[in-house]
Amino acid sequence: MPDVLEFHPERASPEEWRRLHVYRRRYQRERRPDEPLTPDDVMEGILKRPDPREFHHRYHVVAGGEMVAELYCSAQRPESPEYATNKHLLWAFGYVLEAHRRQGIGRGLVPIVLSRMDEHASTVASSGAEDEAGHAFLRGLGAEPKLVERASRLDLSGVDWDEMDRWVREGEERSPGARLDLYPQWVPDELLDDHCTAMTELLNLMPFEDLDHGDIVITGDTVREWRVRLTATGTINPTCVVRDADGSMFGMTDVLKHPHEPGVVRQMFTGVHPRARGRGLGKWLKAAMVRHVRQAHPDTRWISTENAGTNDAMLAINHAMGFKLHRVETFYQVSRETLGKATQ
């Protein structure tokens, strides 16, 4: 039987890193063949940096000296501002390389998930699946589908730029007195606390379908710590916000640009406050951002984004821009009790 080894990035040996990097390439070819691979040194830096908000538990399944599967679990730390409403949740992700499936490896990792749930007093485990093998595995453990997420891509060569210009003009015309501010690197530190307050409010308005979830809490301190991580890899977080005449924010959008992902930009959050919806602000924000990406990062081939399948308003905007469905991921959840029975 394969060995299950806990992986500690901060003290991993060269051999452990070698196994991981070989596995990452195999995983990439199977699951994300058309996406750029994070360079080895960048990945090592990411994994070695401590996270003040979450516990991370990583396991590598090794057979014949090579890594053939992985398990990753995460839970909120008590120091996290999200702990109070998220402490009952544990996220678990596992993957078995195709050539090593149907050997009981996945099932053999479930007791580790249960052990980590007990350690963190978690009562609900969450995971995701994109292919039928993953769906069948999670259903077999008693997990139920709770949220369907659509991942889409925008090919910039097909964007109607005249239409984007029109969206910007109409947004300005329909919100007299409002202004759009663009921050090419990220929101300035002196504006960050107010920005985080507005972002927290908007993020918690997103549709989560039937997913059991706690509050999302964004603070200036957590964003500053996150930016230290971004700076270490040269990543930037361009952001657009729309402010009312009184200076209050009622809409925002942001992207991530990793220097190790040439030709790719990651669309992050876009939100408009309910009091300002129906005025084309979502289109204004998205159009302004894609125009910025075109100008500031002219090598960009595509922009990726993820949305809940029931987020009709944002999906409609994305469709009008030219985003095409790339893949669908379903998030499942299962109680500690049900998962325990599945292993008996």
pLDDT, one tens digit per residue, over 32-62 is 999 999 999 999 999 999 999 999 999 999 9
Homologous superfamily (CATH) for 151-329: Gcn5-related N-acetyltransferase (GNAT) (3.40.630.30)
**Is-same-fold flag (3-122; 151-329)?**
yes
133 SS3 class: helix
How do the domains of the chain map onto residue ranges?
Answer: 3-122, 151-329
Q: State residue 247's pLDDT score.
A: 84
Q: What is the pLDDT of residues 59-73, one digit of tens each?
A: 999 999 999 999 999
Residue 316's φ and ψ, nearest 5 degrees, are -65, -40
Contact 23, 78 (CB under 8 A): no
Which two tokens mark 197? 């307050």
Q: State residue 309's pLDDT score.
A: 87
Tell me, rounded to whole angstroms, the distance of Cα 282 from its chain centroid: 20
Q: What is the pLDDT of residues 142-188, one digit of tens each?
A: 999 999 999 999 999 999 999 999 999 999 999 998 999 999 999 99
Q: State residue 42's pLDDT score.
A: 95
Query: 183 has which bridge partners?
Result: 239
Lowest mean pLDDT segment, chosen from 9-18, 117-126, 181-190, 245-254? 245-254
Residue 1, pLDDT > 80, answer no
Q: State residue 245's pLDDT score.
A: 84
Q: What is the pLDDT of residues 69-102, one digit of tens each?
A: 999 999 999 999 999 999 999 999 999 999 999 9
Residue 344: pLDDT band with limits 50, 70, 90: confident
Q: What is the pLDDT of residues 276-330, one digit of tens each?
A: 888 899 999 999 999 999 999 999 999 999 999 899 999 999 999 999 999 999 9
Q: State residue 248's pLDDT score.
A: 86
Q: State residue 343's pLDDT score.
A: 86
Question: What's the angle, vertex CA 82, arms to CA 303 and CA 78, rounded to 5?
Answer: 130
Query: 74 has which bridge partners?
Result: 56, 91
Tell me, rounded to whole angstroms, the distance of Cα 258 from its chain centroid: 14
Please state whether beta strands 179-183 and 89-96 pair in parallel, antiparallel, or not at all (unpaired). unpaired
Task: Indicate the residue type of 270.
Answer: T
Mean pLDDT score across all residues of the chain: 95
Residue 25: pLDDT band with limits 50, 70, 90: very high
CATH class for domain 3-122?
alpha beta
